[in-house]
Chains A and B, each alone.
Chain A
Amino acid sequence: MAALAAILAAFASLTLWSAQPAGAADRPDPVAEAAAFRNYFVKKFPEVKLEEFVNGPYALNGDMRRQWQEIDQFSPYEFSLEKGKELFATPFANGKTYADCFPNRGVGIRQNYPYFDASEGKVVTLELALNRCRVANGERPLSHVGDAMAALTAHMAFTSRGKPFDIKIPDDPRALEAFENGKRYFYTRRGQLNFSCATCHVQYPGEHMRAEVLAPALGILNAMPIYRSEWGGMGTISRRFTTCNSQIRSLPLEPQSEEYRDLEYYLSYLSNGLPISGPGARP
């Protein structure tokens, strides 16, 4: 009798489970997703310390790491960093500076970007915030893929070095939707080569793509902006996203389009807790 009751109870619970609305099982749970994401990389690279993932390919390849450590004695991004510091402090025509637009006058805040702006219902990245600051003070916006923007973000990242990413997803369905849109963009195959972001940075990190060693997606934005030897200069997150698209023969979207902003939001959130290491340097 007891056994029969147990079977009935199990059946009832199964029926109840299957009777849940279809959407309930698919409801996004960013906390669980971030844990699963992290777990995937930790299992894939058990010898790599968690906080080391922010160093991209250098965390996965010993030879590259040694070369990078030697190069970093005279960091290739030093000039850009200096320029960024100078630009950040240079007053606009109205006498104000970037510092007037940011909390804590722009020092040590990189880890909080991008954030979800409830008033406009959209994700705001650091690049976007910098340009909005310029426009609000009567200046022309900078190119999101240009050297000046890279220099400014390099300076701001440098003041946040070591601080863990702290991206918030507020209790707002639009924020959750932005996170979901970023995820969809990340996993969607595109371009003639039929690659998604995940193809390189989830399926094949540590493997060679021609001369490049692919970076893991975990911690990938912590090092931004980056100096790339391939570019011969610094590049912003926008530059990285658009060139990634071109490399797989997909026509890049406009920098700071909603898709890219959501992608940055998604990836940054997944790296919460990992330290900012930017500006970085890559081959």
Chain B
Amino acid sequence: MNNTVSSKARWRVLWLALILWLLGSTASVVAAGSESEFKSAYATAEAAEKEAGRLRNQWTVTEAALTKAKKAAEKNDFDSAIEFSMEAERLAKASIFQATSEKEAWKNLEIR
């Protein structure tokens, strides 16, 4: 009887170990994916910011978000790094939109 219980318990422990191992390996796969996701997100944000620079209309907040993304990535905090990269991309795109629309819109403010 004791032997049977101990055998069942052993199987439970083994299953649990297997589940934990699977979870662990999945998590590491996610982490590895995060780093590549970060690199891709950062590159996209950087490209958008470069375009804003070409239009002579970069924003301080975009630069700050890019810096935060890089710092988070250096600490292997890729979730935050991706989030900051995406924020930088949104801000850069907004500055591009502003520069483009202002090419004509500035005239509305002019004193005549």
Judged by a CB distance under 8 angstroms, whether A135 is at the interface is: no
Q: Which of A36, A37, A188, A246 contacts B106 (CB 8 A)?
A: A188
Which residue of chain A lies nearest to B105 when distances are taken between CB atoms in the complex?
Answer: A189
Q: Which residues of the partner chain A approach B105 to less than 8 Å between Cβ atoms?
A: 189
Of the 9-residue stretches A73-81, A91-99, A194-202, A275-283, which lies at the interface with chain B?
Answer: A194-202
Asked whether A253 lies within 8 Å of B111 as measured between CB atoms, the reply is: no
**Cα of A191 to Cα of B59 in the assembled complex, Å:** 5
Chain B residues whose C-beta falls within 8 Å of the C-beta of A203 in the assembled complex: 109
Q: Which residue of chain B is the closest to A190 with respect to CB atoms?
A: B57
- Per the bound structure, the CA–CA distance linking A33 and B112 in Å amounts to 7
A85 contacts partner chain B, Cβ-Cβ < 8 Å:
no
Per-residue interface assignment for chain A, residues 158 to 201, with 1 indicating a CB less than 8 Å from any chain B CB and 0 otherwise: 00000000000000000000000001100111111010101100
Judged by a CB distance under 8 angstroms, whether B34 is at the interface is no
- A40 interface residue, CB < 8 Å from B? yes
Binary CB contact string for chain B from 98 to 109 against chain A (1 if under 8 A, 0 otherwise):
110010011101
Please tell me if the beta carbons of A40 and B106 are within 8 angstroms of each other in the complex: no
Give min CB distance, A58 to chain B, whole Å.
23
Q: Which residue of B lies closest to A251 (CB)?
A: B58
Query: Which of A37, A189, A196 counts the most B-chain CB atoms under 10 A from its CB?
Result: A189
Q: Contacts A190-B98, A190-B102: A246 and B110 contacting too (C-beta < 8 A)?
A: no
B59 to chain A, nearest CB (A): 5
Closest to B53 in A: A251
What residues of chain A have their CB less than 8 Å away from a CB belonging to chain B? 33, 36-37, 40, 183-184, 187-192, 194, 196, 198-199, 202-203, 246, 249-251, 253, 259
